[in-house]
Amino acid sequence: MGRMWVWAILGMLSAFPAWSVEVHDVRLWRAPDHTRIVFDLTGPADHKLIVLENPGRIVLDLENATIKASVADLKLDGTPVQLVRTGVRDGEDLRVVLELSADVKPRSFFLKANEQAGDRLVLDLYDKAPRAQAQPQPTKSVQHTNKRDIIIAIDAGHGGEDPGAIGPNRHREKDVVLAIAKELNALLKADKGFQPSMIRTGDYYISLRGRRDLARERQADLFVSIHADAFKRREAHGASVYALSTQGATSTAASYLAQRENASDLVGGVTLSDKDDVLAGVLADLSMTSTLDNSLKLGERVLRKVDTVAKLHKTRVEQAGFAVLKSPDIPSILVETGFISNPSESKLLSTSAYQKKMARAIHAGIREWFLAHPPSGTLIAWQKQQIGQQYIIARGDTLSGIAERFNVPLSDLKIRNGISGEKILVGQKLLIPTT
């Protein structure tokens, strides 16, 4: 009798279709080189990607799936997608069709649910034709002296589908840090001899390794990543500055934070494994190079300035294994501007006044360090060298002869003394640039 009931129940279950997966939200972001569309799912789903031509279309088929989200409200301006439409295929599958206005290289993948996000299907459409960069590549020259600028790569953490930490009033880390990064960018732009370069200029996601690579491509002298902290306890508060640790974290909080920040690649759909053997080899010796030492010392200058506008979580620069800081050749720091998980600090972080104060503090620390320790070949280094000895012109002296005597370029001697021609006077005082 018992067996008959079992077989009866199994027969009834087989008469019903398998549980379908629901697409409950669709989100889209535009990055400088690609468009990302994310389908939020109630569970795992198999899918197939089809590319069609004449006219260009991308087709996504999701097995045994339905959609409750609206695709009509997606903002398609500035993307290669003209229209998104959905339909039913084979009675129980979902078909999504994207009509295109330009050629793209599509990539689709499924992401399992984790602590920060649910199951997702991600579709990336990479541009085939080169697009004009939202921000020009920084140049390393200053016109009147031919000395290069000091390039600061400014990284606003998270972005796009990765909001970062979310405060009690739904303030999102990605929005707060982008506002601070833009303020810092404006301050550095106004400084002669400095060239800021924004890693993320809008609301889109870049992988942690991608951020480092952009800084290297732009030949940055410093990489500064800006974040807003979060912790399980709401009472945790204070700003912090971090540098890379190639071994263990300097505190439990530093370890927790690094794990949380490194996990952002799971949200963005990028593997955390870094298989760059050359980088791994350099990192093994990083503690013996000047890169990490400069990161710590520069971070200390920034921390002291931040201390004037915010409470500090720790009074020294901490270290942890942040993936975004693993540039072996670029001094790199991560600034946590406060705890967005703390109600009071979350409220502060969301205000323009506090964002400007924090940007000014970070700017002051960076500027102070580089004015004291400018990289060779930069305008700031050249200006620092100009405080040289004084020489009084005697009868028979020539500018070229004085330059040769003191082993300095004639052009530097002229620039230092504001001389455009060759005329000099007996008794005239010249400042000799330091070689």
Domains of the chain with bracketed CATH:
20-127 (2.60.40.3500), 150-372 (3.40.630.40), 386-431 (3.10.350.10)
Cα gap 38→238, rounded to integer Å: 34
Give the side-chain half-sphere CA count within 13 A for 9.
6
Beta bridge partners of 154: 198, 224
- The verdict on whether omega for the bond into residue 331 sits within 30 degrees of 0, i.e. cis, is no
The closest of 82, 117, 84 to 102, measured between CA atoms, is: 82
Residue with tokens 């455009």: 420
Evaluate whether 177 touches 226 at the Cβ level (below 8 Å): yes
User: pTM of the predicted model, to two decimals?
Assistant: 0.76
Cα gap 189→194, rounded to integer Å: 7
DSSP state of 47: E
Beta bridge partners of 243: 319
Evaluate whether 333 touches 370 at the Cβ level (below 8 Å): no
Query: pLDDT tens, position by position, for the chain (435 residues)?
Result: 445 444 444 444 444 345 789 999 999 999 999 999 999 999 999 999 999 999 999 999 999 999 999 999 899 999 999 999 999 988 899 999 999 999 999 999 998 887 777 899 999 999 987 655 545 555 554 454 578 999 999 999 999 988 888 888 888 999 999 999 999 999 999 999 999 999 999 999 998 889 999 999 999 999 999 999 887 778 788 999 999 887 766 666 666 666 766 666 666 655 444 444 444 445 445 444 668 889 999 999 999 999 999 999 989 999 888 888 888 789 999 999 999 989 999 999 999 999 999 999 999 999 999 988 999 999 888 877 766 677 888 888 899 988 888 888 898 888 888 888 888 999 998 888 776
Where does residue 408 fall: left (phi above 0), alpha (psi -120 to 50 degrees), or beta otherwise? beta
Cα gap 216→137, rounded to integer Å: 12
